[in-house]
Amino acid sequence: MKRLLVLGVGNLLLTDEGAGVHAVQDLAQEEEWDLSRVDFLDGATFTQDIFYIFQDYERVLVLDCVKGGREPGTIYRFTEANLRDNYEQRLSLHDIDLLDSLKMAELIGNKPELMVIGIEPLTISDWSMEMSEPVKAQYPKYLEAARREIRALLA
């Protein structure tokens, strides 16, 4: 069993909705990571159908855009407990699918520990593969937040 799955979630065709996928693709190219302990996966629009993948990991870090009502580019960090216990923080359909997938994974044998690093979008409905300017400006900080979390989860 590998230690960590980093799962990028979102739609690359819908502006900031693709931030998590952009991030996982960028992080996967970095030479820092011990690939015997961590996998990077583009989960696209993530459905409950990939819950079986969780069986192979102790921990899952999800990178996604998160609508929390703050300024575009705001970076969030959530645990599974944050998402499950506070209905106000069920911020996207991805989160609900994710919680359901964790439950299904648990039912078939292994439920990994979950963390989410999100970034507040400006828009998720415009057709573009480019992130909006405010999200693009904060994107390096988003990547650094993800790097810090990966390092901590692998420690």
- Pairing state between β 75-79 and 113-119: antiparallel
Residue 144 maps to a domain: no
Kindly report, residue by residue over 16-27, the tens digit of the pLDDT: 989 999 999 999
Residue 48 maps to a domain: yes
Contacts with 82 (C-beta within 8 Å, 6 or more apart), sequence order: 89
Three-class DSSP category at 6: strand
User: What residue type is assigned to position 52 of the chain?
Assistant: Y
Q: What is the CATH number of the domain that holds 42?
A: 3.40.50.1450
* Residue 53 pLDDT > 50: yes
Going by the DSSP 8-state scheme, the letter that residue 9 receives in this structure is -
Q: How many domains does the chain have?
A: 1
**Residue 94 structural domain:** 7-131
pLDDT band at 63 (very low <50, low <70, confident <90, very high): very high
Kindly report, residue by residue over 85-139, the tens digit of the pLDDT: 665 544 454 555 777 777 777 778 778 888 999 999 998 888 988 999 999 999 9
The answer to whether the CB of 9 falls within 8 A of the CB of 21 is yes
Distance CA(120)–CA(91), nearest Å, equals: 10
